[in-house]
A and B are shown apart, each in its own frame.
Chain A
Amino acid sequence: MSMQIDDPRVVEFDVRTDEMLVNMGPQHPSTHGVLRLLLRTDGEIIQEVTPHIGYLHRCAEKIGENLAPPQWIPYTDRMDYLAGMNMNLGMALAAEKLIGMEVPEKAMVIRLIVAELNRIASHLVAMGAYGLDLGSFSPFLWGFREREIILDLFEEVCGARLTYSYVTVGGVTHDLPEKVVIPPGLAAMTGRPKSETLSWLEATSLFLDWLQPRIEEYHTLLTRNHVFIKRTANIGVLSREMAISHGCTGPVLRGSGVDWDLRRDGEPIYTRMYDDYDWKVIFAPFEEAPPEVVVGDSWCRYFVRMLEVVQSIRLVRQGIERYPKAEGEYRLPYKMNSKLPKDECYLETECPKGQMGFYFVGDGAPQPLRARAKSSSFCNLSITSAISRGTLLADIPAIVGSLDIVLGEIDR
């Protein structure tokens, strides 16, 4: 039997579906941790996204009220576990601001090197996992292979691979090691003998020399990949006004075209680390962007991170040059039972995911009256609903992945 339909809209009306609630997560692989998204959909069109968080809440702020600031450091690298060094640094600087301590130049150079290396590692995971979200497996393996070498280098510095607690109040816990065995991954990639020993700084610069030309390969693999552009360009567009009002920071804010980076625009106690270094702030729009791309879409957020890796490599290189000449100790003493001043301070630093803030209220006791960690991913996640409305179900991983959230930091 054949049927003639005059008006195609009739069919449209006929197969119209009811709204449906779809539960995504908390064990979904592309929600980057234990995030639950409640999606209200009409067919494949998203009407509303409600993020439910808190599955990883570990009462970090309550714990912080019972610990002296150096004791709270290990809790901070369990917040953003992909960038432990940056979290340690943010907390240590906030405590130093409260105490009124200024660390020596040597400590600052070491901090800069490890923080920027960790930023590279975090952005590599962001890139790899984003590729995986969109169905491309290779970037994930590549990103993790490169990151592995950074983790090996960090292991030589402080013994830990993820939860470093290396940057602490007053400086860093150890000086950089003088002789290390070359990380196995680096030996394999560069063809050097496995038993070769060299200084930690030499190993780091060898790694950077090897990493830098690879970035072009990531661009070939993902950035300029036709499928990747189709999946990310003009998807999840976040306007400049919305980004500012929703408190977005980091690559999400810069991807929406705001020229703001705390490493340059932050408070002096933080920016003095970056004084006289030659680097630039990356923000949208980009000249090399494909024509489909609009400012503030998922592609821009991704691309900001990729260009930041290059800037971080530049910063680490300059840090390596400065380290031998840097003056002072790597650490100033700070006693656990030193009383905190009866004052309060808030400090934000530029972490790979965005601006992480720490707030301490001192009360004359060694433990603060209030320890607060303001998470950047928390704010970045809050825009999901606004930028996903009207997109397709399959775009949700592409949007959430482009925000590069980490749930340990959101839930604290």
Chain B
Amino acid sequence: MTAEEIFRLLQEQFGEEKIPGANLEARDPWIEVAPEAIVEVATFLRDDPRLLFEHLNNLCGVDYFPPDPKKAAKFEHEPHIEVVYHLSSFSLKHRITIKVKLPRWKDGQEGELPEVPSVAGVWAIADWHEREAYDLVGIRFVGHPNLMRILCPEDWEGHPLRKDYEFPEEYHGIRVR
């Protein structure tokens, strides 16, 4: 199936509210999914005989935020966080990218991590990928069985792949920079 057909099928199935948009001209065409609908859409993507996206290639977070305040005026995106799901199908040999857009902070309150339902129940590997996205980008996956840091130590502060992350001076008395 082409990305356009997948997009039409999803909109037919879930309506425009849950599938707000897509970019079919991108190098890897992507479809946007509303955060609250991600689990049912993911289950449909995996199980529908026309789609069969049984393989979650990659799941990661992207922080859209101007890294340099001087260049903020040129920055084309509204500051936000994206969770990107790259899917492929072994049996039907097609690929698609799914995106969920989130605010940088929950309810605009700095320090409160944005939330999205976990898809660890749909693809088992999402468990570890979500832990990594939580650790490095700072996204809270609601319903995740064990949302702990995976690469950084458990008592690490902050989420390093955030664009406004500040490196700590020291960690347990060890100079870090």
- Report the minimum CB–CB distance from A381 to chain B (whole Å): 8
Which of A53, A98, A374 contacts B60, CB < 8 Å? A374
Query: Is there an interface contact between A359 and B26, defined as CB atoms closer than 8 Å?
Result: no
The interface residues of chain B lying within 8 Å CB-to-CB of A348 are 57-58
* A148 interfacial contact with B, CB 8 Å: no
Which of B27, B76, B124, B150 contacts A53, CB < 8 Å? B150
Closest to B97 in A: A346
The interface residues of chain B lying within 8 Å CB-to-CB of A327 are none
Which of A245, A343, A345, A369 contacts B62, CB < 8 Å? A369
- Report the minimum CB–CB distance from B142 to chain A (whole Å): 21
- Report the minimum CB–CB distance from A400 to chain B (whole Å): 16
Q: Please, how many residues of chain B have a CB less than 8 angstroms from a CB on the other chain?
A: 34
Chain A, residues 224-261, CB within 8 Å of chain B (1/0): the string is 00000000000000000010111100000000001010
The interface residues of chain A lying within 8 Å CB-to-CB of B60 are 359, 370, 372, 374
Query: Is there an interface contact between A61 and B136, defined as CB atoms closer than 8 Å?
Result: yes
Alpha-carbon separation in the docked complex, A378 to B124 (Å): 13
Which of A245, A357, A361 contacts B86, CB < 8 Å? A357
Query: Is there an interface contact between B28 and A411, defined as CB atoms closer than 8 Å?
Result: no
- Report the minimum CB–CB distance from B62 to chain A (whole Å): 5
Which of B57, B76, B123, B151 contacts A355, CB < 8 Å? B57
Query: Is there an interface contact between B27 and A374, defined as CB atoms closer than 8 Å?
Result: no
Query: Is there an interface contact between B62 and A361, defined as CB atoms closer than 8 Å?
Result: yes
Chain B, residues 13-27, CB within 8 Å of chain A (1/0): the string is 000000000000011
Chain A, residues 42-77, CB within 8 Å of chain B (1/0): the string is 000000000001100101011001000000000000
Query: Is there an interface contact between B84 and A359, defined as CB atoms closer than 8 Å?
Result: yes
* A404 interfacial contact with B, CB 8 Å: no
Interface residues of B in 150-171 (CB under 8 A from A): 150-153, 160-161
- Report the minimum CB–CB distance from A277 to chain B (whole Å): 20
Query: Is there an interface contact between A247 and B55, defined as CB atoms closer than 8 Å?
Result: yes
* A116 interfacial contact with B, CB 8 Å: no
Interface residues of B in 76-97 (CB under 8 A from A): 76, 84, 86, 90, 93, 95, 97
Chain A, interface SS category: mixed
Contact A260 B64, CB 8 Å, known A61-B161, A379-B125 = no
* B128 interfacial contact with A, CB 8 Å: yes
Chain B, residues 22-49, CB within 8 Å of chain A (1/0): the string is 0000111000000000000000000000
Which of A247, A260, A343, A372 contacts B26, CB < 8 Å? A343
Closest to A411 in B: B151
* A342 interfacial contact with B, CB 8 Å: yes
The interface residues of chain B lying within 8 Å CB-to-CB of A345 are 27-28
Query: Is there an interface contact between B27 and A245, defined as CB atoms closer than 8 Å?
Result: no
Chain B, residues 132-152, CB within 8 Å of chain A (1/0): the string is 000010000000000001111
* A80 interfacial contact with B, CB 8 Å: no
Query: Is there an interface contact between A246 and B58, defined as CB atoms closer than 8 Å?
Result: no
Query: Is there an interface contact between A359 and B161, defined as CB atoms closer than 8 Å?
Result: no
Query: Is there an interface contact between B152 and A57, defined as CB atoms closer than 8 Å?
Result: yes
Alpha-carbon separation in the docked complex, A258 to B91 (Å): 10
* Residue from B57, B136, B151 whose CB has the most chain A CB atoms within 10 Å: B151
Query: Is there an interface contact between A244 and B55, defined as CB atoms closer than 8 Å?
Result: yes
Contact A53 B151, CB 8 Å, known A61-B161, A244-B54, A344-B28 = yes
Query: Is there an interface contact between A342 and B54, defined as CB atoms closer than 8 Å?
Result: no
- Report the minimum CB–CB distance from B100 to chain A (whole Å): 15
The interface residues of chain B lying within 8 Å CB-to-CB of A317 are none
Alpha-carbon separation in the docked complex, A258 to B64 (Å): 37
- Report the minimum CB–CB distance from A42 to chain B (whole Å): 22
Query: Is there an interface contact between A246 and B124, defined as CB atoms closer than 8 Å?
Result: yes
Alpha-carbon separation in the docked complex, A246 to B127 (Å): 9
Alpha-carbon separation in the docked complex, A96 to B149 (Å): 33
The interface residues of chain B lying within 8 Å CB-to-CB of A379 are 125, 128
Closest to B95 in A: A267
Q: Can you report 7 residue pairs joining A to B where beta carbons are below 8 Å apart?
A: A62-B160, A244-B54, A244-B90, A247-B57, A346-B84, A363-B76, A372-B60
Closest 10 interchain pairs by CB?
Answer: A247-B125, A54-B151, A374-B58, A245-B124, A345-B27, A57-B151, A370-B62, A246-B124, A382-B128, A372-B60
Using a CB–CB cutoff of 8 Å, the interface residues on chain B facing chain A are 26-28, 54-58, 60, 62-64, 67, 76, 84, 86, 90, 93, 95, 97, 123-125, 127-129, 136, 149-153, 160-161
Using a CB–CB cutoff of 8 Å, the interface residues on chain A facing chain B are 53-54, 57, 59, 61-62, 65, 97-98, 242, 244-247, 258, 260, 265, 267, 342-346, 348, 355, 357, 359, 361, 363-364, 369-370, 372, 374, 378-379, 382, 411-412
